Amino acid sequence: MDKILGTLNGVDYTIGGTLLELSYLLAAILFVIGLKLLSHPETARRGNFYAGGGMVLAMLTTLLLHKNANGVGIQPANVWIILAAIGVGSAIGWIIARKIKMTAMPQLVSFYNATGGAASALVALLEFPNADMSNWGSVLVTLLGLIIGSVAFSGSMIAYGKLDGKVKDIRAGYMSFVNLALLVGTFGLAIFILLSGQTPAELNWAIYLLLFVSLLYGVLFVMPIGGADMPVVISLLNSFTGIAAAMAGFIYNNQAMILGGILVGAAGSILTLLMCKAMNRSLLNVIIGAFGGGGTAAAGAEGTMKEMTMSDASVLLAYSQNIVIIPGYGLAVAQAQHICHELDLLLADKGVNVRYAIHPVAGRMPGHMNVLLAEADVPYDKLVEMADINPDMPNTDVAIVIGANDVVNPAAINDPGSPIAGMPIIKAHEAKNIIVMKRGRGKGYAGIENSLFFDDKTRLLFGNAKDTLQTLVSEIKGL
């Protein structure tokens, strides 16, 4: 039967080919189910298994059933090489994931994202010599895969360096013009390759120049963007990686790669736009606005930061009825999520209603605070989104701000001239009392003073969040 059906125009119509396409369809369904389950913390772990199962299915059926236009499958020797590469990569990934600290999770996501972009760019680079230059569609997806994959790779590596404190921002005003020139040059070179009418061998110099320019653009594109915008940048680069993977799928006519890439690209794009909305800023403003580090003062950010003793803080918390904890990156840096959960359990035993207020862009990646607190076994129903918690803030006895700054800065709604003007915030300033835990008197990533810290209702506990919380727990136990 397979001999009768065979292949036509490069499409495998054999029974094996049909099974392969069906497996890709099933893999795509598993991707969609996994993506849906990832939208909630309680089902996220199961979602990972569904999506991972779909990827394993697609890889295995490709190895066993894929045939080229001549009806020839993957040679056994190559199968073993591929399996060995998958095994080595999986082992390395497993070790890294097991050893990585939660504080470094954003860096890990950026690094993994970079590897995805690099893989897609390499596919395009290796397949270009085989391209049919008369087939514009085929050449176009190859060039787009190279450009987008390269930008995702180099941009993600710079994002990794920034998150890890190894790369500093470049905020020169001319950077926007340099990036615009590079972007125009990148697509101009791609159009030249597409319309030149030359053979791939004759365009060898051009394709490597395109690779270099794309990598350079990825670097310079991320360099001016401030630390406060890193969650948006990571999400945007993640969507780039998905789009590049889809382009690689078109090159190989692989439905699983196309569908998987489209899902990642679409999900990353939607998340990027949602985070921009949460910050009340356009994506273009994020990219060229150089948000963060402006150094301007917020309106009303004057006066004295008033400290309080641990004993006073413990009494205030122990005899409150409603407490809202607002975590930020400082909580992650101090690895204080476990002792923070111990505090909320201790207060709950005393009849206090304790909840966590989660800002959409708190931390250094989307969902950073949710993952961090889930690691400490904080119940999911205690994690309340900003829009749901804000109406309850006037009835909150104490708002505890742990390592958060810009996401609770009243300047966003009180100062039209502030760099964060219009950004939705958690309204900690509306609580009856505010306790702020921070390492020092420094500013947040936006580089502006926080008027909340000078509020008459605010008292500060300076020091490492983990040590502060540990002392506070001991004080409350001693009451």
Residue whose token pair is 């340099």:
178
Residue whose token pair is 């926080």:
450
Using CA atoms in the order 63, 266, 181, 189, what is the torsion angle rounded to 10 degrees?
A: 40
Residues 6 or more apart from 471 whose CB is under 8 A from it? 310
Tokens (6 digits) for 44? 């996220």
Please answer whether residues 402 and 325 qualify as being in contact, where contact means their C-beta atoms are separated by less than 8 angstroms.
yes
First to last CA, the chain: 82
Residue of 12, 344, 406, 415 marked catalytic = 406
Distances (CA, A) of 29 to 41, 211, 242, 324: 21, 34, 17, 40
- For the chain, how many helices (H) and strands (E)? 18, 8
Q: What angle do CA 229, 232, 237 make, to 5 degrees?
A: 120
Residues in the chain, overall count: 479
229 is annotated as an active-site residue: no
Secondary structure class of 437 (helix, strand, coil): strand
Please answer whether residues 432 and 408 qualify as being in contact, where contact means their C-beta atoms are separated by less than 8 angstroms.
no
Q: How far apart are CA 94 and CA 186, in angstroms?
A: 36
Please answer whether residues 124 and 145 qualify as being in contact, where contact means their C-beta atoms are separated by less than 8 angstroms.
yes
DSSP state of 463: S
H-type helices in 164-229, by residue range?
175-195, 204-222
Residues 6 or more apart from 451 whose CB is under 8 A from it? 298, 299, 300, 301, 409, 410, 411, 414, 429
Q: How far apart are CA 457 and CA 430, in angstroms?
A: 9
Q: How far apart are CA 345 and CA 378, in angstroms?
A: 9
Q: How far apart are CA 269 and CA 261, in angstroms?
A: 12
What phi and psi values does residue 100 have, to the nearest 5 degrees? -65, 140
Q: How far apart are CA 288 and CA 148, in angstroms?
A: 19
Q: How far apart are CA 398 and CA 145, in angstroms?
A: 52
DSSP state of 324: E
Residues 6 or more apart from 321 whose CB is under 8 A from it? 351, 352, 353, 397
Q: How far apart are CA 390 and CA 379, in angstroms?
A: 20
H-type helices in 136-295, by residue range?
136-163, 175-195, 204-222, 230-252, 255-278, 283-288
For the annotated catalytic residues, the residue numbers are: 406
